[in-house]
Structure 1
């Protein structure tokens, strides 16, 4: 295994609430996508390869957008996530429209990745520190029984333009992840942060760590994911909206005692585009980072 980790980018999402293909929309001063900042940060944190997970219908557009900029900077590979990927003929859902979710997307990269790897969303800005801390973990600490996620305080990952869904983490005395619950309809209401989904009103403390889907894995996890996937498919055969998520994989590995997850403290800066109204906020935040010298005037020159 190379000692340089790989960055796996989940870029097959629909962007339904945003109202466009935010994975390839420009937000930086030179029209940079949010993803370009993640790749730039990954390169300077020592990552050696980036693997894009895309749908077949956006493959050509994504390649045109990213390949000219990344040539000579980092190794690039492409993987297609389709409704047929890793689905046996007898378990195919003829009427399914919705993708199978983030853990299925990771499984689609099984044959493209042999080294420790990070997983990110294409449309979230995670910050330089997050890539540094996870890159170091993947180069020095990761094991088949020890993975990681970068934690972000809930107060730093809300939207002013609507509610959000977040994976709210429970931790042990070592600061390791012991469980994660997907909470929906989260928003700040006065001095409180409240989740109004799941049939209850729940207050969440401001510094509670949440997952923004920034994970670090040993490649042995592919075998674990594939086994869970083989159990998920027949169990959800009649549910056309069922999804197979990374937090489900993490919870199963933790509960079975097969692996532990460190929660790494690099999550200082995050912003993302959940709603169209979030766009000007992201543009302004990126402009500020350029002006402060966090990023060069042009990322790729």
Structure 2
């Protein structure tokens, strides 16, 4: 029997630029959260389990929201990310308040996942095609040294209400990731897409693939992440804002020749809520998708 992939959801984030807790905010016609659409799409793409990474203070809220709706539809597990998770005593700093970042969140799920898995943000809408293409890869294509990322064209993932941060990718002729640079201040200016962060102005071509943090991994990656984590901690002990990111893990594996990442072309539809002003746009888009039959009248009807 083939192993069904798992969906790992990063839901511990604070949503600092957006007022309120956007992970549990309703956007769908019946008050559905964005996350519920991802879980719905994952179920129909053949995923067998969903694991949510949460903070202690939102654990009960997340359980109350999701468990009644998902009972009997998919296995659900919750994992806590805290400043103590996988952090040996000598590296714990009582002054640190910032979470350790996305790769640390993935590491926190190490004991809950024993099969190939996808990683998503709780507050991004990725679209049905993305789950289909990644579900197929995780069932048939994934290897201990071959992972994947769903690529989205930069022109489709901007906000009309301010600059955005995106992982801008370079790929080779075989559609594999060569490297990724986090550009922190990207916006459309006239008919061009310009990145102004890091003290330089760079024009980015419309179809350049970017990462929206939708990854597919073989479970072997956990030991790679753990060894990088053990290097990260001593190097960043005094830096209370340092974060350990998934793109760093990907870049390190590629540069060391330990693994390759396929860029999968499933990223057709994406929307997210970076700014409060993005919310009505998302609500309208979801309404249209229900009206066109892409989603049933009620997700969990």
Secondary structure of 2:111's counterpart equals: coil
1:253 has 2:259 as partner: no
Normalization by structure 1: what TM-score?
0.99
1:213 has 2:213 as partner: yes
Q: Show CA shifts across 1:104-146 (max 9, x none).
A: 0000000000000000000000000000000000000100000
Structure 1 runs (4+) greater than 3 angstroms displaced: none
Partner of 1:168: 168
> Tell me, which stretches of 5 or more residues in structure 1 are unaligned?
none
Q: Shift of residue 238 of structure 1?
A: 0.6
Native 8 Å contact 1:2 1:115 kept in 2: no
Q: Distance in 1 between matches of 2:281 and 2:58?
A: 26
Q: Distance in 2 between matches of 1:90 and 1:81?
A: 18
Partner of 1:243: 243
Partner of 1:226: 226
Q: Shift of residue 93 of structure 1?
A: 1.4
Q: Shift of residue 94 of structure 1?
A: 1.4
Aligned length: 301
CA RMSD of aligned residues (A): 0.7
Q: Shift of residue 162 of structure 1?
A: 0.5
Q: Distance in 1 between matches of 2:260 and 2:72?
A: 36
Q: Shift of residue 2 of structure 1?
A: 5.3
Normalization by structure 2: what TM-score?
0.99
> Tell me, which stretches of 5 or more residues in structure 2 are unaligned?
none
Native 8 Å contact 2:2 2:139 kept in 1: no
Q: Distance in 1 between matches of 2:36 and 2:275?
A: 20
Q: Distance in 2 between matches of 1:79 and 1:110?
A: 10
Secondary structure of 2:206's counterpart equals: coil
Q: Distance in 1 between matches of 2:167 and 2:283?
A: 26
**1:89-100 alignment, distance < 5 Å:** 89-100=89-100
Native 8 Å contact 1:184 1:197 kept in 2: yes
Q: Distance in 1 between matches of 2:187 and 2:44?
A: 34
Q: Distance in 2 between matches of 1:269 and 1:58?
A: 28
Partner of 2:136: 136
Partner of 1:289: 289
